[in-house]
Chain A
Amino acid sequence: MDWMKIVTALALVMFIVYLFPRARYMLKNSPKGSSSDWMSFIVPIVVIVLFIMLLVQLV
């Protein structure tokens, strides 16, 4: 249905416009992470990727 695509696109544009100033503010004001900080984020993300691969095998 084409109108559904248009409504979805409009909703996404509205959401992007709403979030853009927040994203810019957070990008400017978020503290910078050290390499160990980033590792503490990357490790659980890798575990999640492996977990999803396991789920795909289980289907």
Chain B
Amino acid sequence: MDQNFSTIARKTHAGSAIEINKVLRNTYMLLALTLLFSGLTAAISMAMNMPPMTYLISVIGGMVIAMFVLPRFANSTAGIGIVFLVTGLLGFGLGPILTMYASLPNGSNVIMLSLGGTGVIFMGLSAYALATRKDFSFLGGFLMVGFLLVLLASLANIFLAIPAMSLMISAVVIMLMSGFILHDTSRIIHGGETNYILATIGLYMTIFNIFISLLQILGVLGGDD
């Protein structure tokens, strides 16, 4: 009887491990495809020489779809299409920002370093979470409150327009998004997130925010000489 119970428990554990690996594999595959798609829409937006307001419209549109439409379709194949719509919109919005940076002296260097830096941060933190298999669920409340405070500070800075505060916000955003990468990856590993569509959009948002913040930090602090 004990032996039967132990066999069933082992099989259940193996089954859940296979399920977790499947979610993880699907998440990274969809994430890679959405990042490529974003790159493509950003290139199209740059080629079309879109005006700066494109960024604002695309980000608001993308966020509204991600918050209110995506959760309704997260369990169907239509959800994949919506993820591509959101990430494509966000990529398209990046076009005017990248055009602006590319026109600066040393701008292409800033863009390449931001891109590479974002990749290194994401892969490093993902590898850390996967290798240690630590449970980072304790970070949830701290990260959400931190993010709310950053949003409040950003709201204040729209009217105050203090460059140092803007830089500080970007630095804090990178730290918070790094925490979200650890938190979200550990949630997948420990079976807290079983929907790869929602997992993908969460990780995509962290990468997007790190890239934008790094672009701003390197654009301002880099090349002072």
**Which bucket holds chain A's interface residue count?**
35 or more
Which residues of A in the span 1-21 have a Cβ within 8 Å of any Cβ on B? 1, 4-5, 7-9, 11-13, 15-16, 18-20
In-complex Cβ contact of B148 among A11, A19, A48 (8 A): A19
A2 to B148, CA, bound (A): 24
Cβ of B222 and Cβ of A56 under 8 Å apart?
A: yes
Task: Give the residues in chain A near B128, CB-CB below 8 Å.
Answer: 44
Cβ of B144 and Cβ of A22 under 8 Å apart?
A: yes
Cβ of A45 and Cβ of B63 under 8 Å apart?
A: no
- Among A16, A45, A59, the one with the most B-chain Cβ atoms within 10 Å of its Cβ is A59
Q: Which residues of B contact A (CB under 8 A)?
A: 53, 56, 59-60, 63, 67, 106, 109-110, 113, 117, 120-121, 124-125, 128, 132, 134, 136-142, 144-145, 147-148, 151-152, 154-155, 158-159, 171, 174-175, 178-179, 182, 214, 217-218, 221-223
- 15 residue pairs of the A-B complex, CB under 8 angstroms, read A8-B158, A12-B154, A19-B147, A30-B138, A37-B134, A41-B136, A41-B139, A48-B174, A48-B178, A55-B113, A55-B117, A55-B222, A59-B109, A59-B110, A59-B218
